[in-house]
């Protein structure tokens, strides 16, 4: 899309704009429905898939999947001694404890984390980065941030700031943590 061109005015004949084509087809087939949300949500969905593919390429260079990268990053963000309980890791990475166990098993086999009993609860466990794990996540995270800067460089700083603001507001409203929903003030 050219600079200044709005999604509402996308060209459905542009072969590169899949979302505009889909919208045009739905407008033809279901003129009774307003398909304008697809201009935002469809593009976000496609962009998220593209970004995930671009991000995972970096993780793979370090022998990591997206999940393993997330676990190592959550441990590194914890600060020294770089450890968290498995349940805490699951909460920080938004996966089930069962999925977390599989990730930890793989990372432990690779020598990147260790597991030990929790000092305050004999039944509990603590997962900690090994020195090799800390070195790997530091290298991988540095490359990850270079990659994110590269991806975001397609926007001007002003565009990136505006997008960040809009996405933050939208997420907060969907989560119920933000300001008033503008739709709530409309007439019923």
Q: Identify whether residues 140 and 67 lie together within a single domain.
A: yes
Q: Identify whether residues 130 and 90 lie together within a single domain.
A: yes
Q: Identify whether residues 78 and 45 lie together within a single domain.
A: no
Tell me if 136 is assigned to some domain: yes
- Could you give the 3-state DSSP secondary structure of residue 127? strand
Q: Identify whether residues 43 and 118 lie together within a single domain.
A: no
Tell me if 7 is assigned to some domain: no
Q: Which of 67, 52, 135, 129 is nearest to 101 (CA)?
A: 67
Q: Identify whether residues 47 and 133 lie together within a single domain.
A: no
In this structure, of 5-14, 78-87, 138-147, the range with the lowest mean pLDDT score is 5-14
Q: Identify whether residues 80 and 139 lie together within a single domain.
A: yes
Tell me if 182 is assigned to some domain: no
Q: Identify whether residues 66 and 155 lie together within a single domain.
A: yes
Output the pLDDT for position 13: 65
Tell me if 179 is assigned to some domain: no
Q: Identify whether residues 67 and 57 lie together within a single domain.
A: no
Which segments within the chain are labelled E, that is strand? 83-84, 113-118, 121-129
pLDDT of 123 > 50? The answer is yes
Distance CA 4, CA 179 (A): 28
Output the pLDDT for position 35: 95
Q: Identify whether residues 151 and 112 lie together within a single domain.
A: yes
Percent of the chain residues topping a pLDDT of 90? 71
Distance CA 87, CA 9 (A): 47
Q: Dump pLDDT digits (tens) for 81-115.
A: 999 998 889 888 878 888 888 999 999 999 999 99
Tally of domains within the chain? 2
Spell out a b/e string for 143-157, using b for 16 or more CB atoms within 10 Å of the CB, else e: ebeebeeeeeeeeee
Tell me if 3 is assigned to some domain: no
Distance CA 116, CA 93 (A): 20
Joined together, the tokens standing for residue 179 give 């300001």
54, β-bridge pairs: none
Task: Please state the φ and ψ torsions of residue 47, each to the nearest 5 degrees.
Answer: -65, -40
pLDDT of 37 > 90? The answer is yes
For β-strands 121-129 and 113-118, DSSP reports them as antiparallel
Query: What's the CATH number where 93 sits?
Result: 1.10.10.10
Which domain does 16 fall in, by range?
A: 12-30+37-61
Distances (CA, A) of 147 to 48, 53, 55, 84, 162: 15, 12, 7, 27, 20
Q: Identify whether residues 94 and 161 lie together within a single domain.
A: yes
- For the chain, give the mean pLDDT: 88
Distances (CA, A) of 148 to 3, 53, 56, 133, 155: 21, 12, 11, 22, 12
Q: Identify whether residues 159 and 117 lie together within a single domain.
A: yes
Q: Identify whether residues 50 and 101 lie together within a single domain.
A: no
Task: Please state the φ and ψ torsions of residue 70, each to the nearest 5 degrees.
Answer: -60, -40
């Amino acid at each position: 899309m050219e600079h200044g061109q709005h999604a509402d005015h996308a060209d459905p004949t542009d072969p590169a704009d899949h979302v505009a084509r889909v919208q045009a087809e739905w407008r033809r087939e279901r003129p009774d429905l307003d398909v304008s949300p697809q201009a935002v949500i469809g593009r976000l969905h496609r962009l998220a898939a593209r970004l995930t593919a671009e991000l995972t390429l970096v993780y793979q260079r370090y022998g990591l999947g997206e999940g393993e990268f997330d676990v190592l990053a959550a441990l590194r963000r914890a600060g020294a001694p770089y450890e968290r309980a498995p349940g805490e890791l699951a909460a920080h990475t938004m996966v089930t404890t069962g999925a977390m166990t599989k990730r930890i098993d793989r990372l432990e086999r690779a020598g990147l984390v260790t597991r030990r009993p929790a000092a305050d609860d004999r039944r509990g466990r603590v997962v900690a980065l090994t020195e090799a794990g800390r070195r790997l996540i530091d290298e991988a995270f540095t490359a990850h941030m270079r990659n994110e800067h590269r991806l975001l460089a397609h926007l001007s700083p002003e565009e990136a700031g505006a997008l960040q603001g809009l996405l933050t507001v939208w997420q907060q409203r969907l989560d119920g943590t933000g300001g008033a929903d503008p739709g709530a003030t409309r007439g019923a």
